[in-house]
C-alpha cells in the first residue's frame, strides 16, 4: 500500500517538481556549447570530479547529478576536458536552485534548516522561522542544498 496523507501528497509533488527540472551541464561550460565533441571523448571530466556529480547520458554527454553532493568549483573537470567544451572560467554552474513551497518541510511549519547550512554563499535566507527563499543573485548553482533536503524540495533549473 502506498503512502497516504501529507507525506504521500508531498512525495508526489516533489516527484513532479523533479521531473520539471532541466538537464544541468558541468561547470565552466560555454553557454552555446553543443557538447557534440563529448560524444566521442573519454569523459575525463567524469573521472576527475572530486564530488562524483558529473555523469554522462546514453550519448556520452556530461550532466550534473546533485542527488548525493554539490560542486566545489575545483576546476578539475575544466582542466581535464580534452574537447575543450568546459573552458570558460568566468562561469560556474549555469543553473539556479528553486524551492518547491509545496514540498518544503519548513513551508509546512516544521523547523528545518538543512538547505541553509551547506550554502556557503548565504543564498538561502529565512523569512521568519519557516519560509526559506533563495536569493538568485547569490546562488552559484553549486547544488549542495539539494542532497541534504529531507523532502526533496529543491531542484535546479537552467
pTM exceeds 0.85: no
Q: How far apart are CA 102 and CA 153, in angstroms?
A: 8
Comparing CA positions, the residue from 23, 29, 30 lying closest to residue 45 is: 29
**Closest C-alpha among 73, 74, 65 to residue 24:** 65
Domain ranges of the chain: 9-20+95-157, 25-93
CATH of 25-93, one of 3.40.50.10300, 3.30.70.3270, 3.40.50.2300, 3.30.70.20: 3.30.70.20
pLDDT at 19: 46
* Alpha carbon of residue 24 to chain centroid: 7
Provide the CATH topology of domain 9-20+95-157.
Answer: Alpha-Beta Plaits (3.30.70)
The residue with cell 560524444 is: 39
Give the separation between CA 150 and CA 105, rounded to whole angstroms: 8
Distance (Å, rounded) from C-alpha 98 to C-alpha 115?
A: 11
pLDDT at position 28 is: 92
- pLDDT tens for the chain, residues 1 to 158: 444 555 555 555 444 444 444 789 999 987 767 788 898 999 999 999 999 999 999 999 999 999 999 999 999 999 999 999 999 887 778 899 999 999 999 999 999 999 999 999 999 999 987 899 999 999 999 999 999 999 999 999 88
Amino acid at each position: 500500500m502506498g503512502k497516504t496523507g501529507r507525506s504521500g501528497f508531498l512525495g508526489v509533488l516533489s516527484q513532479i517538481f523533479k521531473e520539471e527540472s532541466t538537464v544541468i551541464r558541468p561547470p565552466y561550460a560555454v553557454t552555446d556549447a553543443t557538447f557534440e565533441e563529448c560524444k566521442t571523448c573519454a569523459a575525463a571530466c567524469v573521472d576527475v570530479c572530486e564530488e562524483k556529480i558529473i555523469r554522462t547520458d546514453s550519448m556520452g554527454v556530461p550532466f550534473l547529478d546533485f542527488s548525493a553532493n554539490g560542486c566545489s568549483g575545483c576546476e578539475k573537470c575544466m582542466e581535464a576536458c580534452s574537447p575543450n567544451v568546459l573552458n570558460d572560467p568566468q562561469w560556474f554552474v549555469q543553473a539556479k536552485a528553486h524551492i518547491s513551497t509545496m514540498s518544503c518541510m519548513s513551508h509546512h511549519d516544521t523547523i528545518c534548516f538543512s538547505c541553509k547550512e551547506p550554502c556557503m554563499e548565504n543564498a538561502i535566507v529565512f523569512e521568519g522561522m519557516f519560509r526559506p527563499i533563495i536569493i538568485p543573485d547569490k546562488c552559484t548553482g553549486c547544488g549542495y542544498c539539494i542532497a541534504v533536503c529531507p523532502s526533496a524540495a529543491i531542484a535546479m533549473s537552467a
